[in-house]
Chains A and B, each alone.
Chain A
Amino acid sequence: MKEISELQLPEDVRYAEDHEWAKSQGDVLRVGISDYAQDQLGDIVFVELPQAGDRLKKGDEFGTVESVKAVSELFMPVSGEITAVNGALEDAPELVNTAPYSDGWMIDVKPDDPSELDALMDRDAYLDMLKGSEQ
């Protein structure tokens, strides 16, 4: 597993406590999981995602990500409607490992309240959180 200093933590996304990231793309937010999360999970074998059109609240489970020996739930960083789902993950779940912030994206959400994005952590706050939990 990577050391914290080796993790990729881009500045242009916001981070949730349970390791999802969200990035503004026009009027939708693109959501995925952070490099820390994919590194902890190990080789990802399956990603279960909702359907476009589903409406979920912040904190709701929107899917799961599986490695061989573990399953993790994915939680909505904001409330909103799912507008798109990354179909490439069905045949290539490993994209979440190799490109967690680009080709490994998971869902696009039209947020009910765009300001909810600000409630998420910026890169430095997330990094502090990771360092804190290391103790």
Chain B
Amino acid sequence: MNDTVGTNGLIFNEPLLWEKGAPGRTGFSMPRRDVEPAALDETLAGDGPDFPDLSEVDVVRHYVRLSQWNFSVDSGMYPLGSCTMKYNPKTNERQASLPGFTGAHPLLPEELAQGALQLMFELQEYLARITGMDAVSLQPAAGAHGELTGMLILHAHHAKQGRPRSKILIPDTAHGTNPASASLCGFHSVAIRSNEKGVLDPAVVAEAMDEDTAGIMVTNPNTLGLFEENIREVAEIVHGKGGLVYADGANMNAVMGVVNMADSGVDVLHLNLHKTFSTPHGGGGPGAGPVCVTRELEPYLPIPRVALGEDGRYRFSEDHPDSVGKMHAFHGNFGILVRAYSYIRSMGGHLKKASQLAVLNANYIKEKLKGTYHLPYDRPCMHECVFTDKNQQAHKISTLDIAKRLMEYGFHPPTIYFPLVVHGAIMIEPTETECKADVDRFVEAMKAIAEEARTQPDLLTEAPRIPKVRRLDEVTAARKPCLSG
């Protein structure tokens, strides 16, 4: 184990915030008071919250220690399928921290916010060109928020046609947010089975598609890492009955500069800036989920829209009577938009190379591991590939055990048990920012683990032992929830 990426080391225990501190300590420099205390209606006053009093040293040690318990992209590789855990460029952080951006109030008069408006306008333009779509809204605050926006657009479109529809077709490989977003709009989800090649079968879609179906939600490439090769035929079938095609763009990292989404038949698409466009995951957010549409659906985009006037000034425009409305209190996650914009300005046409290399890395891993792990779909993959634990089940080892052991080798586990159509799924997406040497080390680790599954299965079932904690009792956590201290 001496050569592995992961190793042991001294880290620190650290209690909860309210288990530290002492009354009267502070970590805050209070500004000098230059006004007198004013009278206050005591019936309104409370006692203030029971927060611990901590010194700056307390706070700094606390969070530094906590940070050391985390795996992060900055520490190592996260081959999480459908998450696109690519490197988060630091120049993006520098740009997002510029005081002109961080200090800007969202409701500034437009003439005092031209820089931000210009950035948003240009970003819209770039995303439209990258996807081949016609118009973009940057307002949704996350992928799922973008999906909801897309569903609202479908709903508005059909309402405007005078024929509200009640159903949405959703492939069985879809991410859970897809049917959840559809439900929020009052649509009933109809599951569509993928065929034995792992892609949508036009005949199956044709059978399900009718005039009460608003459309289909596809992910392309899909969550098995395969390009939906029948997408145009599927789109024609859906369009033929007056439906629309919504694409979940979570896997866009495979096809930038390669696929024109509009040409493939897509009407509405959302992107995940925190996946394809390098903005950081932050331990669970914030992200951003812009929505791209065809010219025909542009009137439904959320407002306000960012527009460029003939006078060369950027402005917000609310004059769109068919808009689905407002998704976010202000303009979306501007701080995240800055990072994505910086990334696109830094990469330019190299984005195509990024997609090519992401796909190369995934295919390479697929070839290297296919003898060792069971590969349910032995076909060229896109930016991710899916294996299962079938070979290891013979030794009573599961996907979960493999994942827990992989941590000790210094890799974050891949996505496990998703998509649901594959039993014991292990979905691997290396991204293009992992160099060949690191990809080779990952392959070695996976092979070593497969060998251990045969000869020393305890190493897997007892894993992990090195990280801060071992496997957790999630059952008690759910039976007797303790959600605050």
Contacts and interface: CB of A to CB of B under 8 A. Distances in A.
Contact of A93 (B417, B474, B479): B479
B478 interface: yes
Contacts of A94: 479
Contacts of B479: 45-46, 93-94
Contacts of A45: 475, 478-479
B388 to A, nearest CB: 17
Per DSSP, chain B at the interface is: helix
A43 interface: yes
Per DSSP, chain A at the interface is: loop
Contacts, number: 13
Interface in B408-423: 417
A2 to B, nearest CB: 14
Contacts of A93: 479
Interface residues of A, number: 8
A21 B474 CA distance: 28
Interface in B456-485: 474-475, 478-479
A87 to B, nearest CB: 16
Contacts of A43: 475
A92 B479 CA distance: 8
A66 interface: yes
A43 B472 CA distance: 14
Nearest to A94: B479
Contacts of B478: 45-46, 66, 68
A43 B480 CA distance: 13
B440 to A, nearest CB: 33
Interface in A69-99: 69, 93-94
Q: By CB atoms of chain B within 10 A, which of A46, A66, A68, A94 has the most?
A: A68
Contacts of B417: 69
A92 to B, nearest CB: 9
Nearest to A45: B478
A45 B473 CA distance: 12
A43 to B, nearest CB: 4
A94 B479 CA distance: 9
Interface of A: 43, 45-46, 66, 68-69, 93-94
> 4 closest pairs, A vs B, by CB?
A45-B478, A43-B475, A68-B474, A45-B479
5 contacts: A45-B478, A46-B478, A68-B474, A68-B475, A69-B417
Given A43-B475, A45-B475, A45-B478, 10 more contacts: A45-B479, A46-B478, A46-B479, A66-B478, A68-B474, A68-B475, A68-B478, A69-B417, A93-B479, A94-B479
